[in-house]
């Protein structure tokens, strides 16, 4: 520890420094007072009128219904495909329709220091059919039943990070049908309810990490309008419809499956919230994707190209006993 001798300054210099410091403190105090008078307080500035109030240490249950239809067209095939019955394969993939219903059980497992929430959602009680052009057939959902995804979200629904998507990915699991359901269950909300019949724009970006080498990066541009809540919902409810577009760029960097996908979608929906408690009362939506998928060779040239049209319509609503 330094002695007092090392801190001594000439009297004149010490007096000047004290005056200069006092002046700076006085000016700083006046500036802070001016800002406090002119600007809103931090608590007021941060106030958000539309938000999810997800319960901590309590399980929330939502029901869902979703129909997922994918049409596939082969645009470019590699020479290696010639010995195979490509026509039969394309016929089986020409249009695949999945109809699925079930429940989402979700709970806030952790509250982070920045007030973001660690929301764990799992899909259960799944029932549904798959139609490959020959009529709907009851399907087994064992590969999807009970699987969960963890999402770190703000009260606005902003997605900060997520894990577990690989648990629902893969052939024959039907994961594509529930991606949209899980993401739309916490659709990002505008700051406030649009007023006077006007529209409120909202642009944001989300990332869905299917695995460490594949991310779905999406840019959303939505426009919200206030609409009448459904009959019987009361004054507690607020309702909005929304329309907009989504673009996506995905690159699979795995050396055994180098691929890229460029996609665009139009999206619309109606969301009803119990604004007093922030619960989702009802959320119906439709997302129409156009995908351009390319399989790449080691030198980056196109090995094969596939075009897909994907339509997902769904509804998420309060679970009934």
Residue-wise pLDDT tens digits, 71-123: 999 999 888 888 888 888 888 888 999 999 999 999 998 999 999 999 999 99
Q: Say if residue 133 is in the same domain as residue 278.
A: yes
Measured over the CA atoms of residue 20, residue 22, residue 24 and residue 26, the dihedral's sign is: negative
pLDDT value of position 189: 95
pLDDT value of position 121: 95
Q: Say if residue 224 is in the same domain as residue 170.
A: yes
Task: Please indicate, yes or no, if residue 55 is contained in any of the structural domains.
Answer: no
Give the Cα separation of 159 and 154 in Å (integer).
7
For 5-19, 142-156, 212-226, 252-266, which range has the lowest pLDDT when averaged over its residues?
A: 5-19
Task: Please indicate, yes or no, if residue 51 is contained in any of the structural domains.
Answer: no
Q: Say if residue 32 is in the same domain as residue 65.
A: no
> Does the pLDDT value for residue 178 go beyond 60?
yes
What domain range includes position 135? 60-318
Q: Say if residue 215 is in the same domain as residue 96.
A: yes
In 3D, which of 151, 202, 155, 205 has the Cα closest to residue 179?
151
Give the Cα separation of 67 and 229 in Å (integer).
24
Q: Say if residue 277 is in the same domain as residue 191.
A: yes
Greatest C-alpha distance within the chain: 98
> Does the pLDDT value for residue 274 go beyond 50?
yes
Q: Provide φ and ψ at 265, rounded to 5°.
A: -145, 155
pLDDT value of position 171: 66
Average of per-residue pLDDT across 181-209: 93
> Does the pLDDT value for residue 152 go beyond 60?
yes
Average of per-residue pLDDT across 60-69: 95
19 versus 291: the higher-pLDDT residue is 291
Q: Say if residue 101 is in the same domain as residue 14.
A: no
> Does the pLDDT value for residue 11 go beyond 80?
no
Task: Please indicate, yes or no, if residue 308 is contained in any of the structural domains.
Answer: yes
Q: What is the mean pLDDT of the chain?
A: 83
pLDDT value of position 32: 36
pLDDT value of position 18: 32
Residue with tokens 């648990």: 167
pLDDT value of position 96: 92
Q: Provide φ and ψ at 318, rounded to 5°.
A: -60, 135
Task: Please indicate, yes or no, if residue 53 is contained in any of the structural domains.
Answer: no
> Does the pLDDT value for residue 307 go beyond 50?
yes
Q: Say if residue 14 is in the same domain as residue 159.
A: no
Q: Say if residue 38 is in the same domain as residue 166.
A: no
pLDDT band at 28 (very low <50, low <70, confident <90, very high): very low
Which residue pairs from 213-219 have beta carbons closer than 8 angstroms and sit at least 24 positions apart in sequence? 213/252, 213/253, 213/254, 214/250, 214/251, 214/252, 214/253, 214/254, 215/250, 215/251, 216/248, 216/250, 217/248, 217/249, 217/250, 218/246, 218/247, 218/248, 219/246, 219/247, 219/248
CB atoms within 10 A of CB 201: 11
7 versus 99: the higher-pLDDT residue is 99
Task: Please indicate, yes or no, if residue 25 is contained in any of the structural domains.
Answer: yes
pLDDT value of position 154: 94
Residue with tokens 């980056």: 300
The CATH number assigned to the domain holding 195 equals 2.30.230
pLDDT value of position 277: 63
Task: Please indicate, yes or no, if residue 294 is contained in any of the structural domains.
Answer: yes
Q: Say if residue 215 is in the same domain as residue 287.
A: yes
> Does the pLDDT value for residue 1 go beyond 70?
no
pLDDT band at 242 (very low <50, low <70, confident <90, very high): very high
pLDDT band at 145 (very low <50, low <70, confident <90, very high): very high
pLDDT value of position 321: 60
**Total domain count for the chain?**
2
Q: Say if residue 216 is in the same domain as residue 98.
A: yes
Q: Say if residue 41 is in the same domain as residue 93.
A: no
Task: Please indicate, yes or no, if residue 71 is contained in any of the structural domains.
Answer: yes
Burial annotation 53-71 (CB, 10 A radius, 16+ → b, else e): ebeeeeebebebbbbbbbe
> Does the pLDDT value for residue 46 go beyond 70?
no
pLDDT value of position 80: 82
Q: Say if residue 104 is in the same domain as residue 28.
A: no
The pLDDT > 70 percentage for the chain reads 84
């Amino acid at each position: 520890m330094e002695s007092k001798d090392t801190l001594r300054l000439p009297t004149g210099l010490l007096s000047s420094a004290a005056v200069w410091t006092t002046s700076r403190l006085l000016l700083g105090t006046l500036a802070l007072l001016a800002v406090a008078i002119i600007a809103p307080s931090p608590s007021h500035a941060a106030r958000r009128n539309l938000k999810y109030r997800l319960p901590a240490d309590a399980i929330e249950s939502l029901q869902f219904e979703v129909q997922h239809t994918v049409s596939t067209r082969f645009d470019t095939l590699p020479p290696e495909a010639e010995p195979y019955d490509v026509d039969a394969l394309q016929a089986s993939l020409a249009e695949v329709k999945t109809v699925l219903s079930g429940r989402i059980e979700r709970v806030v497992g952790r509250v982070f220091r920045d007030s973001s929430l660690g929301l764990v959602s799992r899909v259960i009680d799944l029932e549904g059919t798959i139609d490959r052009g020959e009529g709907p057939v009851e399907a087994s959902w064992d590969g999807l039943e009970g699987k969960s995804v963890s999402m770190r979200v703000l009260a606005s629904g902003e997605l900060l990070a997520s894990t577990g998507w690989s648990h629902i990915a893969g052939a024959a699991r039907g994961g594509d049908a529930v991606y949209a359901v899980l993401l739309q269950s916490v659709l990002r909300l505008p700051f406030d309810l649009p007023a006077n019949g006007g529209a409120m724009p909202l642009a944001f970006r989300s990332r869905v990490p299917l695995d460490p080498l594949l991310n779905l990066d999406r840019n959303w541009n939505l426009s919200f309008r206030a609409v009448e809540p459904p009959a019987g919902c009361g004054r507690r409810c607020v309702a909005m419809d929304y329309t907009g577009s989504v673009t996506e760029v995905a690159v699979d960097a795995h050396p055994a499956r180098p691929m890229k996908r460029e996609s665009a979608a139009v999206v619309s929906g109606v969301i009803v919230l119990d604004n007093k408690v922030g619960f989702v009362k009802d959320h119906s939506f439709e997302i129409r994707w156009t995908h351009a998928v390319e399989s790449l060779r080691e030198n980056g040239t196109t090995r094969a190209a596939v075009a897909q049209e994907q339509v997902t319509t769904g509804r998420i609503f309060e679970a009934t006993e």
